Amino acid sequence: MVAHLVRLKLTLLRNGLRRSVWKVVALLLSVLYALFLLGLAVVGLVALGAHDDPELSRTVVVLAGALLVAGWWLLPLVAFGVDSTLDPERFQLFAIRRRHLLTGLTLAGLVGVPGAATLVLGGASALAWWREPAALLAGLVGGALGVAACVIGSRAFTTMLAPLVGGRRFREVAAVLAIVPLMLLGPLLLGATAGLQAVADALPEVGVVVGWTPLGAPWALAADVQDGAWLAALGKLAVSGATLAVLVGVWDRALSAALVRSPGGAGHVARSEGLGFFARFPATPTGAVAARSLTYWLRDPRYAAAVAVVPVMVLLLWFVGRGGGLLLGAGVVVAFVMGWSLSADISYDDTAFWTHVAAPVDGRVDRAGRALAGMLVGGAVVLATDLLVLGVSGRWDATVPVLGMSLGVLAVGVGASSIYSARLVYPVPKPGDNPFSTPQGSSLAVMLTQSLGMLLLLVVCLPAVGLGIAAVVTGHPLLQVLTLLVGLGSGAAALVVGVRVGGGLYDRRAPELLQTIRSFA
Amino acid sequence: MEPMSALSIQGLWKRFGTKIAVAGVDLEVPAGSFYGLVGPNGAGKTTTLSMATGLLRPDFGRVLVRGQDLWADPPAVKAGLGVLPDGVRLFDRLTGAQLVTYAGLLRGLDRDTVRDRTADLLRTFDLTADADTLVVDYSAGMTKKIGLACALVHAPRVLVLDEPFEAVDPVSAANIRDILSAYAAGGGTVVVSSHVMDLVQRMCDHVAVIAGGHVLAQGTVDQVRGDASLEDRFVELVGGRRTEGALAWLRTSSD
């Protein structure tokens, strides 16, 4: 039975690859990338062993190992969505012993690039002690325990939280809320490492403490053996064993609950009084499209995810620029992201797009309505960002060029997206899915066209941004006014061209767009 | 002179990859008829109806709606069509009232007309209590009903409904049947696809049997079924019934 489950996972992987050549390419690339990282890790670990500095080895291995375990435990909940190919609820109707299911799902978790890489990494961690046979052996045992903690913990957490995560409201809100601190982790670490030598000095002590936690205990085993601290090593072994026992217990209980749970389940029913934006916009097709888009900007977490990156951008620029003039560019970056986010608009409609095809909505009406909603939301967010960074940096003298640049870039982005999204649709998370999950069938081809589109967009934005930078640096009034004029002018032109050209494309290809979207389902 | 067909489908073909989904379908739907389209799973019903309503471009063939070529001038022709496709989403983050309002406004109706018709439709389909609930939280049957309301809001002359009775409770289904019959009696034309032969035999006056992308029979229900029931005639046309020796071991498996 255990072998069956592993084989099932392999078959699913193989069949997934059969569906598209691009998936094979993507897999090969991720394998190469993983091999590259593994190579680096192995070289680093061997060097660490040769260096003969036990404290350094302990710090590096324990902290990196603890991060690895934490990643396995937490990331599936928010970032990638849960690996649903072997969702326990799919085995509800089969007569499989729970013990077999536990073992099989654990081993199946190692199939795939991340699992295999973790397995190799766990074994390789022992190389940090290659000069000491006893510690090397302990490292292998610790590595095995660490990998087990990764995989079993990941299953335990996802299975336990599945009913929570499965609720529509929770999934939508939590995913957006949880991702923000995760994205901030990078800049925070950056700030910490760049500014504070003290943190680096404290790392060894942190390593010792983390070594006693469930996250770090397996990885600290070998270091204790190396030090001859047998009692401490025994302690680490106990912590690791207890962690695994608790995880298996938790998973076992969650699994037995999952196997008898009825699918779906009634949750909170969302209501909204009255017609909302539909009552406030003009009663025309364009007004209706704009009202619908705005409602979605507020109600659909996939759109909220685009807004969620805004604070991240601001903080990132603040860290990188150390509070200097670079921060003033935050509004422009936000405008770029918000403008381009509209390029997925028809893709986000999913098959509900048929409503527009059947009505039929005129191409220009569709484009203009969506652009209007995008400009309203984007304009509000960009203005708020501009005011924030101008206030924080106290550079009110740069108000005119900053507004000219950011609003211009937003309008150019919306215009370019109006053309792009009438030409191409691509797989995005379905309505109601985790907004950060990677959809089936997204491919290199999509990434290429997206990159190309953004590149073109950058080129169109260049004049206004170049002028704006010059105006902010020199403070010359003529340049400031010129930035405002060029920014707003190019933005307005891009909007008109985007709605016209996009509308024409849309009129010719709307049924084909719908057919492509249906083929993703 | 022959009266003009409400919907005339002439030589439609559609291929997806290597699979030919629809291979030369011809259908004549007389004006004022209640027309049933029946066929097994994968027969090409949904593909045919998608092409007949302008949602999917055919590889070959013509679609005439009340004499006008749909694919030559989609905007003008689609205005007279009411559509309920199967297996697609709705804009389900809107409330029921918002969704019907949206459909009406997209069709170019003015605000007052949309408000009155939305209220009428929600009452008729017994959805008034759920008017302010998001459609994503509706049951499958309620979702069908709100989709039907959206298809009716602009008072089309021809209605094309793909599986309109699926998952709808019996009382609602009877109500919908009455509405559609009255609509056809008033000169409107209804095309429905269905798996349920009994329903089609009782409800429709015309029927077409479609399988493997071909039309096997079409005409009035009495012409097509002859002396047999529609279900027997359907099975006879489509084939594929197995009675001998199927799962013989199943009968001895208990106790």
Q: What are the pLDDT digits (tens) for A308-318?
A: 767 777 777 77
pLDDT above 50 (res B62): yes
Contact between A167 and A174 under an 8 Å Cβ cutoff? The reply is: no
DSSP A104: H
| Residue A417 Cα distances to A285, A345, A520, angstroms | 20, 9, 21
Give how far B241 is from chain A: nearest CA, Å: 29
Q: Are β-strands B189-194 and B60-65 bridged in parallel, bridged antiparallel, or unpaired?
A: unpaired
Q: pLDDT-based confidence at A49, cuts 50/70/90?
A: confident
Where does chain B show beta strands of DSSP type E?
5-16, 19-30, 34-38, 60-65, 68-69, 81-84, 158-162, 189-194, 206-211, 214-220
All residues of chain A having their beta carbon less than 8 Å from the beta carbon of residue B107 are: 285, 359
Paired strand residues for B7: B29, B65
Q: What is the pLDDT of residue A199?
A: 60
Give how far A46 is from chain B: nearest CA, Å: 53
Residues 287-316 on A with a CB inside 8 Å of B are 287-289, 291-292, 295-296, 299-300
Residue B247 to residue B159: CA distance in whole angstroms: 43
All residues of chain B having their beta carbon less than 8 Å from the beta carbon of residue A362 are: 75
Return the closest-CA partner of residue B98 out of A407, A380, A295, A137.
A295
DSSP element (H, E) containing A496: helix A477-520
pLDDT (average), residues B175-196: 90
Contact between A183 and A259 under an 8 Å Cβ cutoff? The reply is: no
Q: What is the pLDDT of residue A427?
A: 82
Contacts of A238 (CB under 8 A, 6+ apart): none
Contacts of A7 (CB under 8 A, 6+ apart): none
Question: And the tokens for B166?
Answer: 């699926």
Interface of B with A (CB under 8 A): 53-57, 74-75, 78, 81, 83, 85, 87-95, 97-98, 101-103, 105-108, 110-111, 114, 132-134, 136-137, 150
φ/ψ bin of B166: left (φ > 0), alpha (ψ from -120 to 50), beta (otherwise): beta
Q: What is the pLDDT of residue A195?
A: 55
All residues of chain A having their beta carbon less than 8 Å from the beta carbon of residue B96 are: none
pLDDT (average), residues A149-171: 72
DSSP A398: G
Q: What is the pLDDT of residue A301?
A: 75
- Of the candidates B53, B87, B98, which has its C-beta nearest A276's C-beta? B98
Q: Residue length, chain A?
A: 521
Give how far A160 is from chain B: nearest CA, Å: 25
Residue A219 to residue A358: CA distance in whole angstroms: 60
Return the closest-CA partner of residue A349 out of A438, A422, A447, A269.
A422
pLDDT above 80 (res A167): no
- The mean pLDDT value of chain A amounts to 82
Q: pLDDT-based confidence at A265, cuts 50/70/90?
A: very low
Q: Phi and psi dihedrals of B247, rounded to 5?
A: 45, 50
Residue B240 to residue A470: CA distance in whole angstroms: 77
Residue A427 to residue A521: CA distance in whole angstroms: 9
Contacts of B192 (CB under 8 A, 6+ apart): B34, B35, B36, B37, B161, B162, B163, B164, B165, B180, B200, B203, B204
Q: What is the pLDDT of residue B244?
A: 67
Paired strand residues for B12: B25
Residue A396 to residue A389: CA distance in whole angstroms: 10
All residues of chain A having their beta carbon less than 8 Å from the beta carbon of residue B81 are: 358
Give how far A298 is from chain B: nearest CA, Å: 10
CB pairs under 8 A between A and B: 110
Residue B53 to residue B106: CA distance in whole angstroms: 16
Least confident of A119-128, A350-359, B43-52: A119-128
| pLDDT tens figures, A447-462 | 788 888 889 899 989 9
Where does A331-386 show beta strands of DSSP type E?
none
Neighbours of A183 (CB within 10 A): 17
Residue A118 to residue A73: CA distance in whole angstroms: 13
Exposure on the CB side of residue B5, measured as CA atoms within 13 A: 17
Find the distance separating the first CA and the last CA of chain A, reported in whole Å. Answer: 31
All residues of chain A having their beta carbon less than 8 Å from the beta carbon of residue B102 are: 278, 288, 291-292, 355
Give how far B203 is from chain A: nearest CA, Å: 26
Residue B197 to residue B180: CA distance in whole angstroms: 17
pLDDT (average), residues A55-62: 85
Question: And the tokens for A181?
Answer: 């601190």
Residue A392 to residue A390: CA distance in whole angstroms: 6
In this prediction, what percent of chain B has a pLDDT beyond 70? 96
Contact between A379 and A303 under an 8 Å Cβ cutoff? The reply is: no
Return the closest-CA partner of residue A25 out of A428, A441, A444, A427.
A444
All residues of chain A having their beta carbon less than 8 Å from the beta carbon of residue B83 are: 354, 358
Least confident of A76-80, A200-204, A475-479, A514-518: A76-80
Name residue B253's amino acid: S
All residues of chain A having their beta carbon less than 8 Å from the beta carbon of residue B98 are: 272, 275-276, 278, 295
Angle between helices A133-166 and A113-124 in degrees, nearest 10: 150
Contacts of B155 (CB under 8 A, 6+ apart): none
Contact between B29 and B189 under an 8 Å Cβ cutoff? The reply is: yes
Least confident of B3-12, B58-67, B104-113: B3-12
Burial class (CB in 10 A: 0-12, 13-18, 19+), A323: exposed
| Residue B244 Cα distances to A50, B94, B247, B248, B254, angstroms | 77, 52, 9, 9, 20
Q: pLDDT-based confidence at A392, cuts 50/70/90?
A: confident
In this prediction, what percent of chain A has a pLDDT beyond 90? 29
pLDDT above 80 (res A295): yes
For an interface test with A, the pick among B19, B73, B90, B94 (most A C-beta atoms closer than 10 Å) comes out as B94
Helices assigned H by DSSP within A168-284:
168-195, 197-210, 217-227, 230-260, 277-280
| Maximum Cα interatomic distance, chain A, rounded to a whole number of Å | 80
Residue A390 to residue A408: CA distance in whole angstroms: 17
pLDDT above 90 (res A21): no
Q: What is the pLDDT of residue B1?
A: 38
b/e map B97-106, b = 16+ CB within 10 Å: bbbbbbbbbb
Q: Are β-strands B34-38 and B189-194 bridged in parallel, bridged antiparallel, or unpaired?
A: parallel
Exposure on the CB side of residue A228, measured as CA atoms within 13 A: 0
Return the closest-CA partner of residue B30 out of B1, B58, B66.
B66
Structure pTM? 0.75
Residue B38 to residue B192: CA distance in whole angstroms: 9
DSSP B153: T
Is the complex ipTM higher than 0.90? Answer: yes
- Which residue reads 């190799």 in tokens? A120
Q: What is the pLDDT of residue A438?
A: 58
pLDDT (average), residues A85-112: 77
- Which residue reads 């109706």 in tokens? B109
Contact between A139 and A41 under an 8 Å Cβ cutoff? The reply is: no
Q: What is the pLDDT of residue A266?
A: 44
Residue A292 to residue A287: CA distance in whole angstroms: 9
pLDDT above 70 (res A103): yes
Least confident of A160-169, A213-222, A243-252, A266-275: A160-169
Contacts of A126 (CB under 8 A, 6+ apart): A136, A137, A138, A139, A140, A142, A143, A222
Q: pLDDT-based confidence at B207, cuts 50/70/90?
A: very high
Contacts of B204 (CB under 8 A, 6+ apart): B34, B35, B36, B192, B221
Question: Looking at chain B, which residue has its C-alpha nearest residue A269?
Answer: B137
- DSSP SS3 for A314: helix
Return the closest-CA partner of residue A126 out of A117, A137, A134, A116.
A137
Burial class (CB in 10 A: 0-12, 13-18, 19+), A40: exposed
All residues of chain B having their beta carbon less than 8 Å from the beta carbon of residue A273 are: 132
Question: Looking at chain A, which residue has its C-alpha nearest residue B89?
Answer: A352
Contact between A377 and A337 under an 8 Å Cβ cutoff? The reply is: no
- Of the candidates A271, A291, A511, which has its C-beta nearest B55's C-beta? A511
Q: What is the pLDDT of residue A183?
A: 58
- The mean pLDDT value of chain B amounts to 90
φ/ψ bin of B187: left (φ > 0), alpha (ψ from -120 to 50), beta (otherwise): left
All residues of chain B having their beta carbon less than 8 Å from the beta carbon of residue A355 are: 90-91, 102-103, 106, 150
Residue B204 to residue B195: CA distance in whole angstroms: 13
- Which residue reads 């012409």 in tokens? B223
Least confident of A213-217, A286-290, A409-413: A213-217
Residue A286 to residue A290: CA distance in whole angstroms: 6
